[in-house]
Amino acid sequence: MKKAFVVSIDMGYGHQRTAYALKSIAVRNKIINANNYKDMPESDRIFWDRSQSFYEFVSRFKKVPILGSILFAIFDATQAVGDFYTDKNLKNASFTQKGMYPLFDRGWGSHLIKNLDDSCKGKNIPFVSTFFTTSFMAEHFNYPGEIFCVVCDTDISRSWAPMESEKTRIRYFAPTERVYDRLKMYGVPEKNIFLTGYPLPMENIGSEKMETLRSDLKTRILNLDPNKIYQRKYGVIVEKNLGTLPAKSNRPLTIVFAVGGAGAQKEYGIEIVKAFSKEIKEKKMKIVLVAGTRKEVKWYFEKELIANGLDELKGVEIVYEPTFEEYYNKFNSVIRRADILWTKPSELSFYAALALPIIIAPTIGSHENLNKQWLLESGFGIEQKNIYYVKKWLMDEINGGSLAKIAMQGFVDGNQLGVLKIKEVITECCGS
């Protein structure tokens, strides 16, 4: 397999989660964080740090009445995705590019690209980035190898295409048909766009035959359809795709609640535990609260569980790891035994293809609104309803078998093999 420099940023989880799925092709098995690497110039570090701090502040400040909404609306306008059906010329550079490229002219990113160029030692090593800015840097500073950009949203703004989009040599991996079409509208040559699907973790899938995913889904169907309503109605589909199901499940119904990288919405996790405390005590249900790499979120979960007298519950697990790589591996292991993934519609929206019905938490930002729309239109998830009545409405969904239907929909219509398709394209473009 052709090895590549896999480049990401550790601002939130989206770009990193996308990159770590491709770790098997990374040079020296290492993901390069463009905003945090050895010997990075202090001027570059200051810019990246300020960008991250501002994004996290805006995400949390959004909850402040009036002022929070105004500030977030101004920030979100710079990332907004325009109407798909329009007569406007979308090839012109956006506000984002007009502010970004002058920074390249001042040297931002040149150190990163020169270091990678020097380490190539004459070899044609592809540059694979999960963030558009670093792809633009590679092109601007004339990186000698092939440049690829992996998109990690279901729809994208003009910001993902470079300033002179029609002349770009960046090749894009599109996770959805909408992204494929958007890139063409933004001026990227069609020959530079590959519809691959999102790179999901192969450890949750197995080989091309998806034997691991099929095995996990068999148990999930049992937990999500306790009254066998879905199985009676769609048993032919289940049999065709999964074969014979086990006689009974070997674990309790399991909900994974995942907090985003900025730590927003953590209070919902505690409300879920409170609502289902009886079922958890009776070992009929398990709740996994995912704090990611956020120690303060882990502390919040622990403090609130103690305050509500729930810290003794054996069926509540908190997932926290100090580094993203440790968290990524732990998370992928945890969701193999999950039945429901509850999260805001970030890059985790694509995990619906792992046959996980998504409970869609309230969105933060326009790109999440589009991810939510994609989930609902695809039949991959349902919106979170009033959190204080969660026991009523969620059990209605489970008892009626509708979440089992959503899980199977994700399996049948989802695109699970993005990693293999991306590897195939890189090999074809760059040789083995």
Q: What does the DSSP assignment read for 361-375?
A: PPP-SHHHHHHHHHH
Is a pLDDT exceeding 80 seen at residue 49? no
Q: Is the dihedral of CA 397, 403, 406, 412 positive or negative?
A: negative
Tokens found for residue 327:
């968290």
In angstroms, the CA 236 to CA 25 distance is 39
Top-confidence residue, 196 or 86 = 196
The predicted model scores a pTM of 0.92
Greatest alpha-carbon span in the chain: 65
Q: Over the stretch 71-81, which tens digit does the pLDDT of each residue have?
A: 555 555 556 68
Is a pLDDT exceeding 70 seen at residue 107? yes
Mean pLDDT (the chain) is 91
Q: What is the pLDDT of residue 170?
A: 98
Q: What's the average model confidence in pLDDT over 330-353?
A: 97
CATH of domain 4-200+417-430: 3.40.50
> Which ranges of 187-249 does DSSP label H, i.e. alpha helix?
211-224, 229-242
Top-confidence residue, 264 or 58 = 264
Residue in this structure with the two tokens 């900025």, named with its chain if needed:
262
Is a pLDDT exceeding 90 seen at residue 125? yes
Q: Over the stretch 356-406, which tens digit does the pLDDT of each residue have?
A: 999 999 988 788 999 999 999 999 999 999 999 999 999 999 999 999 999
Sheet arrangement for strand 4-8: 26-33, 4-8, 127-129, 147-150, 171-174, 193-195
Q: Which of 23-32, 85-94, 118-127 has the highest mean pLDDT?
A: 23-32
Amino acid present at 103: L
Using alpha carbons, list the distances in angstroms from residue 98 to 95, 104, 148, 161, 223. 5, 11, 22, 12, 51
| Planar angle of CA 312, 315, 320, nearest 5 degrees | 90
Q: What is the pLDDT of residue 62?
A: 58
The strand ranges marked E within 157-202 are 171-174, 193-195
| Planar angle of CA 310, 312, 318, nearest 5 degrees | 75
CATH 1.10.443.10 matches 203-413: no
**Residue 111 near residue 119 (C-beta atoms within 8 A):** no
Is a pLDDT exceeding 60 seen at residue 66? no
The strand ranges marked E within 204-334 are 253-258, 285-292, 316-320
Phi, psi of 431 (to 5 degrees): 85, 165
Phi, psi of 367 (to 5 degrees): -65, -35
Tokens found for residue 353:
């293809």
- CATH 3.40.50.2000 intervals, the chain: 203-413
